[in-house]
Amino acid sequence: MKGFLYILALCLCIPSVVYAACVKGDCRNGTGRLESPDGRVYTGEFKSGYLWGKGTLQLADGSRYSGDFVRGRYDGTGTLQAADGRKYTGQFKDGVINGKGTLTTPDGLQYNGEFVLGRFHGHGSLFYPDGREYTGDFRNNVLHGQGKLIYADGSIFEGSFKDGRPDGKGTRRYLNGSRYTGGFVGDKRQGYGVLEMPDGSRYEGEFKDNFYNGQGTLVYDDGHIYTGEFEKGSITGKGTMTWPDGKKYTGEFVGGQPQGKGTMVYGDKSRYEGEWKNGRRQGKGTLEYADGSRYEGTFVAGEPNGHGRLTRTDGTVYDGQFVAGRPVDSVAAAAGPVTVAGQEKAPESKSREKVSVPAVSTDAEVKPAPEVHRFILKNGQVYADEETVPYSGTARVTLPDGSIYNGPFKDGLMEGRGELEYADGRKYTGTFHLGKREGQGLYTYPDGSRFKGTFKNGLFDGSGEYRFRDGSVYTGDFADGRFSGQGKLVYNDGKVYTGSFKNDLPDGHGTLRSPDGSVYEGGFKRGRRSGSGRLRSADGRMTTGEFKDDQLVTP
């Protein structure tokens, strides 16, 4: 380590034959005062004509030594004060600093410990002018071996040192409460290690240049776990992500998001295998639903879109075009009539888009408001100008996909109440948490449809109201972006359904009222009357029986 200072006390021998005058006392065997022409002055004990015993030597340059002498050399315990302000108190041997002692310098450096031949060597403590403190092993003036270094900012490293810096295995405790145990090269995490964060998240695996890099496992504070490949601190490569709700994805990742080919098994046991982009199903894939139905084809923005083949549990097959997750021929089609006089039509399945906050994970440059900052997006977090920590504050930022966010950031992520305008015309106004829509908000579409209510993890979740472009309105419970739970759906043709929903459709027990006065109360399945039910026709007649796919099968 550069800058380590040492004092080498040169041999000082003043025999009786040198040009020096004994101006007082016995300068051969006793106590006296000796002055030499070059300005040196010695006062103390003599033996056989040597400086020997206790004494003080004042040099012409202003340096001064007080302590033990043997045969004219510093030997024993003493204090050496250099003309430049350096001061050493401790042990000497044969004219050289050797043993235990304390060295201080004018700039505030202080070393307490062992010396060998004038150098820090052995065990000691070094206090730096900038506030750092090191206690441990030294070799030839540098930190080398086992030791503890307290940095000026208060963080602590304990472990192995080599050539003046951390090298090998050690533990670093950071100011934010994080703790890392593993390999180091200098101040950087390198090799295998474990990093524990104050929020409870934990990474175990390989590091390179301070970043997660190679194989590792990252456990998040909310319980989801990733095991697989990392690159420069980002989840990039092949791996497996699991969530507390039972979801599991295995496949390729880019920037922390599923991208490429992969398989997702959802909490309800539905399963998707195929292509992904920015964390969403995109491209060719196969989706096996929890009820046993199966879709093979093209996905856009997470939903079946384009050409595909849907095989239902009853064996029927639809092969054709899909829009926003629905077969084209079912978007506006009404159910067929029940074969009972005075029947009414079954509720229509309303097609909607299941959306999530766009996750941008590349290191693309973000377009800033000119009067504020230049923003950079790294690993999904926003950085202002050349800052090395994620941005916290309020800003208006244009994301690489063309979306515009206006509102507060915390640690580089959207946080608090803000506004996000998507490039395709969609708009969200409400609260964000950790970069995702969370809490109360309003979501509008270019076609005029809109959702107002609660969001969770970027999706409709909780209670809310969804207004369709055709005037239909759903009010009730949502889960994972879909109608799920209890709700009320008012159709634009006057029909009203109240009851249980699942995957956007009436499913379970419910009541359907038609404008002509007819009322059906009973079971529904995937949007159609199925199970036990009771139908009251417009003329007042009552029919009770079993229904299947909107047909009365057993009166």
Kindly report, residue by residue over 105-147, the tens digit of the pLDDT.
999 999 999 999 999 999 999 999 999 999 999 999 999 999 9
Match 């150098």 to its residue by tokens. Answer: 119
What does the alpha-carbon distance between residue 97 and residue 89 come to, in Å, rounded to a whole number? 9
DSSP 8-state secondary structure symbol assigned to residue 329: G
What are the pLDDT digits (tens) for 325-358? 888 754 333 333 333 333 334 444 444 443 333 3
What does the alpha-carbon distance between residue 70 and residue 513 come to, in Å, rounded to a whole number? 114
CA 400 to chain centre: 21
- Say how many CA atoms lie within 13 Å of 314 toward its Cβ: 6
By three-state DSSP, how is residue 175 classified? coil
- Full-model pTM: 0.54
Query: 170 with 163: CB under 8 angstroms?
Result: no
What does the alpha-carbon distance between residue 218 and residue 170 come to, in Å, rounded to a whole number? 20
- Indicate the residue type of 486: Q
What does the alpha-carbon distance between residue 349 and residue 342 come to, in Å, rounded to a whole number? 22
What does the alpha-carbon distance between residue 151 and residue 343 come to, in Å, rounded to a whole number? 81
Radius of gyration of the chain (CA): 40
pLDDT, residue 386, reads: 60
What does the alpha-carbon distance between residue 377 and residue 400 come to, in Å, rounded to a whole number? 9
pLDDT in tens, the chain (555 residues): 333 333 333 333 443 334 578 999 999 999 999 999 999 999 999 999 999 999 999 999 999 999 999 999 999 999 999 999 999 999 999 999 999 999 999 999 999 999 999 999 999 999 999 999 999 999 999 999 999 999 999 999 999 999 999 999 999 999 889 999 999 999 899 999 999 999 899 999 999 999 999 999 999 988 899 999 999 999 999 999 999 989 999 999 999 899 999 999 998 889 999 999 999 999 999 999 999 999 999 999 889 998 999 999 988 999 988 877 888 754 333 333 333 333 334 444 444 443 333 333 333 333 333 333 567 777 778 887 666 788 888 888 887 777 889 999 998 899 999 999 987 889 999 999 999 999 999 999 988 899 999 999 999 999 999 999 888 999 999 999 999 999 999 998 889 999 999 999 999 999 999 888 889 999 999 899 999 998 888 777 888 889 988 888 876
Strands of 26-95, DSSP E = 30-35, 41-47, 50-58, 64-70, 73-81, 87-93
pLDDT, residue 424, reads: 82
pLDDT, residue 7, reads: 38
On the 0-12 / 13-18 / 19+ scale of CB atoms within 10 A, 281 is buried
Question: Vertex 378, ends 175 and 272: CA angle to 5°?
Answer: 110
pLDDT, residue 492, reads: 86
By three-state DSSP, how is residue 330 classified? helix
pLDDT, residue 550, reads: 85
Query: 97 with 89: CB under 8 angstroms?
Result: no
Domains of the chain, CATH where assigned: 21-191 (2.60.450.20), 219-330 (2.20.110.10), 353-459 (2.20.110), 468-555 (2.20.110.10)
pLDDT, residue 61, reads: 93
What does the alpha-carbon distance between residue 18 and residue 2 come to, in Å, rounded to a whole number? 40
Nearby residues of 452 by Cβ (< 8 Å), 6 or more positions away: 441, 442, 443, 464, 465
Nearby residues of 433 by Cβ (< 8 Å), 6 or more positions away: 415, 439
pLDDT, residue 366, reads: 37
CA 108 to chain centre: 39
pLDDT, residue 355, reads: 35
pLDDT, residue 365, reads: 36
DSSP 8-state secondary structure symbol assigned to residue 122: E
What does the alpha-carbon distance between residue 409 and residue 297 come to, in Å, rounded to a whole number? 38
